[in-house]
C-alpha cells in the first residue's frame, strides 16, 4: 500500500515524531493533534497525523477505499492531506455493548467480543494489530518529516496495559516522545497529571517530556503556583496552558453536540426558522452529517435521546425529523420501537412534517431488513417502518467509497459530493422517484451513472445511502428548501472547518512553548 498524497518537503525545518496522550477521554488529544498539524503545516513542515488504534462509530471514507476515525480525517485536512487508511490503521466500531467490528487498514475483518481485544485471550489480536500499526507508522515515517500521533483514552488504565498498542505500548515500540494533556475544566488537573505519571513504568515515565493544561478559564496568574509545584514535583515542564475556546466548531468523533446557539445564530423569529430533530439510537453513526445543520443560523436543531424524552411527554414540534446512520440497524430499529418513536414519526407525517433517512435510517424506513449472515448482530429479519417501498439484505461485502453526482428535487438540480459506507443492499419493490444520480465513484476509474435514494410520492420522505450531503452548500440549501426553509442562506462547513483549524493553530502558537516542544520532537 502506498500513500498518494505527499512527499517530504526538502529541508523541512522540523523532523521527528511526537505522541499526544491524555489523562482521560475527551481531555483534548484530538483537538491538540489537529491544531499542531495545522500549525506545523503552516510553517512548511511535511507533517502527517497518526492514531494506532481508535474506537469510534464516526468514521470517514478515504480515497484509497477504506475507513478511518473521523478525528484522523480532520487531522489530515489540518495537514493539507487527503485522508488515508495509514493515518488510523486499526479502527474498532462497537456494534453492541460487548462486541465491535475490527477494521484493519480500512477494511472490516470480523466482529469480536470485548475479551478478544482486552482479555487474557487477546494476544492473537494484539500481535496482528501491532504489526498493522507499525507497518503504517513506518510508511508514514518514510514519507513525512513529522508524524504527530494521538493516543486513546488514558495510558494509565491498569487493566488494559498488557499488550497495549494505543498508548505507551506503541510509544515504546516506536521510540516516540510523549506529552500528556489534561482538562482543567473537569477539575483535579494536578491529580490527573501526577496520578497518570505515577501509574506508568519507569521507562514510560522517562518518555513523558512535558504536560499541556487544556480549557483554562480565568486569570492565569492564579494558576502559576500550581504549575510551579507540578514542574518541581515531576521534573517535567508544562508546555502551555490553553484557554477554553468557546464556539470551536470542529468535527466531533463521539460527542453529540446539540444546537450551539453560537455567534452564528440570527434574530429570525421562531416561525421563520426550521425546526430539525435527529433521532439518537444506541449505535448512531456518522452524526457529523448534521454539523452544517447544527451551525445553520436559521435552524433550531436538537437531538432526540432516550434521556431527553424521559422528561417530556412527546417530541417538540418539528418541521423535519432525521433518522441517521446506525452500526447495528436491526437493534437500533428495535430501540426506536421500544421508545415509541415509530408512532411519533407516523404522527409527525400525518401532520405534514418531513422525514429524511440516511444510510441505516434509510433502511429502517423500508419494509424489512434481513441479516442472514449475522453481519451486524444475531441472524434474523426485522420488519421495517413500512414507509418506503424497499427491502434490505445485509451482506458480507461493505461499500466504502466517495461519490459525486447530481441531486434533483422540486424541479431543481445541483451538484453534490459525499460518501457511502454500508453493508446493506436495498432493492425497490415498486417504482418511485430516485433523486440522486451518482456519476463518479472514487474507487472506479470510469464514469458511471447510478440512481440512489428515493422521495416518497407525497414528497414528505427523502432517503439516501449518501453521507455528507449537507456538507455541500448547494445540496444542503436545496434539501432545506424541500423541508420548508425559505431562507437561501447556505452554510459551507468546509470553509468553517478551515477557519476553525487556523483559529486553533493561532491559539497554540500563542500559548505553547514551541521552542521546547520542537526540541522534544527533534
Catalytic (active-site) positions: 359, 467
Tell me the C-alpha to C-alpha distance, in Å, between residue 186 and each of 27, 154, 189, 311, 512.
Answer: 9, 15, 8, 26, 21
Residue 92 has φ and ψ, to the nearest 5°, of -110, 125
Helix, coil or strand: residue 472: coil
Tell me the C-alpha to C-alpha distance, in Å, between residue 162 and each of 18, 149, 246, 485.
Answer: 22, 20, 38, 54
Return the H-helix or E-strand segment holding 233. helix 224-234
- Cβ burial of 246 (10 Å; 0-12, 13-18, 19+) is exposed
Grid coordinates given for 502: 487556523
Tell me the C-alpha to C-alpha distance, in Å, between residue 29 and each of 67, 152, 253, 398, 440.
Answer: 20, 8, 12, 30, 35
Return the H-helix or E-strand segment holding 454. strand 454-455
What does DSSP say about strands 274-279 and 16-22: parallel, antiparallel, or unpaired?
A: unpaired
8 Å CB contact between 442 and 402: yes
Tell me the C-alpha to C-alpha distance, in Å, between residue 434 and each of 45, 274, 320, 386, 454.
Answer: 46, 25, 20, 18, 4
8 Å CB contact between 321 and 507: no
Rg (CA), the chain: 23
Q: Which of 450, 452, 448, 74 is nearest to 288 (CA)?
A: 74
Amino acid at each position: 500500500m502506498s500513500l498518494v498524497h505527499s512527499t517530504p518537503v526538502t529541508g523541512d525545518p522540523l523532523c521527528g515524531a511526537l505522541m499526544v496522550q491524555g489523562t482521560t477521554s475527551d481531555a483534548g488529544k484530538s483537538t491538540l493533534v489537529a491544531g499542531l498539524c495545522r500549525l506545523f503545516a503552516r510553517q512548511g513542515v511535511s507533517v502527517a497525523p497518526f492514531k494506532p488504534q481508535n474506537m469510534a462509530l464516526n468514521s470517514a471514507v478515504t480515497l484509497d477505499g477504506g475507513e478511518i476515525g473521523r478525528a484522523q480525517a480532520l487531522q489530515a485536512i489540518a495537514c493539507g492531506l487527503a485522508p488515508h487508511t495509514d493515518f488510523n490503521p486499526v479502527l474498532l466500531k462497537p456494534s453492541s455493548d460487548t462486541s465491535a467490528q475490527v477494521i484493519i487498514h480500512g477494511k472490516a475483518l470480523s466482529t469480536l467480543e470485548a475479551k478478544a481485544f482486552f482479555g487474557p485471550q487477546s494476544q492473537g489480536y494484539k500481535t496482528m494489530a501491532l504489526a498493522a500499526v507499525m507497518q503504517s507508522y513506518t510508511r508514514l515515517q518514510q514519507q513525512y518529516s513529522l508524524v504527530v500521533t494521538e493516543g486513546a483514552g488514558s495510558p494509565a488504565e491498569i487493566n488494559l496495559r498488557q499488550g497495549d498498542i494505543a498508548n505507551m505500548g506503541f510509544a515504546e515500540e516506536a521510540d516516540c516522545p510523549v506529552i500528556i494533556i489534561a482538562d482543567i475544566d473537569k477539575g483535579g488537573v494536578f491529580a490527573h497529571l501526577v496520578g497518570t505519571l505515577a501509574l506508568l513504568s519507569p521507562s514510560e515515565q522517562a518518555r513523558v517530556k512535558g504536560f499541556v493544561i487544556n480549557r483554562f478559564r480565568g486569570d492565569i496568574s492564579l494558576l502559576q503556583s500550581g504549575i510551579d509545584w507540578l514542574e518541581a514535583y515531576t521534573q517535567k515542564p508544562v508546555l502551555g496552558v490553553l484557554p477554553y475556546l468557546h464556539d470551536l466548531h470542529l468535527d466531533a468523533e463521539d460527542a453529540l453536540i446539540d444546537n450551539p446557539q453560537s455567534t452564528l445564530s440570527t434574530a429570525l423569529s421562531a416561525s421563520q426558522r426550521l425546526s430539525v430533530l435527529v433521532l439518537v439510537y444506541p449505535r448512531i453513526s456518522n452524526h457529523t452529517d448534521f454539523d452544517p445543520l447544527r451551525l445553520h443560523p436559521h435552524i433550531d436543531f436538537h437531538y432526540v435521546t432516550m434521556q431527553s424524552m424521559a422528561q417530556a411527554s412527546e417530541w417538540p414540534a418539528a418541521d423535519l425529523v432525521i433518522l441517521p446512520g446506525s452500526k447495528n440497524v436491526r437493534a437500533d430499529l428495535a430501540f426506536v420501537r421500544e421508545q415509541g418513536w415509530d408512532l411519533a414519526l407516523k404522527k409527525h407525517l400525518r401532520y405534514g412534517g418531513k422525514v429524511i433517512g440516511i444510510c441505516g435510517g434509510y433502511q429502517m424506513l423500508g419494509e424489512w431488513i434481513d441479516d442472514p449472515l449475522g453481519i451486524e448482530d444475531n441472524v434474523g429479519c426485522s420488519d421495517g417502518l413500512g414507509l418506503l417501498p424497499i427491502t434490505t439484505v445485509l451482506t458480507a461485502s461493505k461499500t466504502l467509497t466517495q461519490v459525486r453526482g447530481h441531486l434533483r428535487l422540486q424541479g431543481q438540480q445541483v451538484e453534490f459530493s459525499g460518501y457511502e459506507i454500508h453493508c446493506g443492499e436495498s432493492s425497490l419493490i415498486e417504482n418511485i422517484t430516485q433523486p440522486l444520480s451518482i456519476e463518479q465513484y472514487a474507487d472506479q476509474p470510469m464514469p458511471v451513472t447510478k440512481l440512489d435514494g428515493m422521495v416518497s410520492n407525497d414528497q414528505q420522505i427523502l432517503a439516501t445511502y449518501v453521507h455528507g450531503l449537507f456538507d455541500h452548500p448547494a445540496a444542503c440549501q436545496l434539501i432545506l428548501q424541500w423541508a420548508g426553509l425559505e431562507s437561501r442562506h447556505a452554510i459551507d462547513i468546509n470553509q468553517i472547518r478551515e477557519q476553525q483549524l487556523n483559529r486553533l493553530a493561532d491559539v497554540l502558537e500563542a500559548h505553547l512553548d514551541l521552542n521546547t516542544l520542537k526540541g522534544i520532537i527533534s
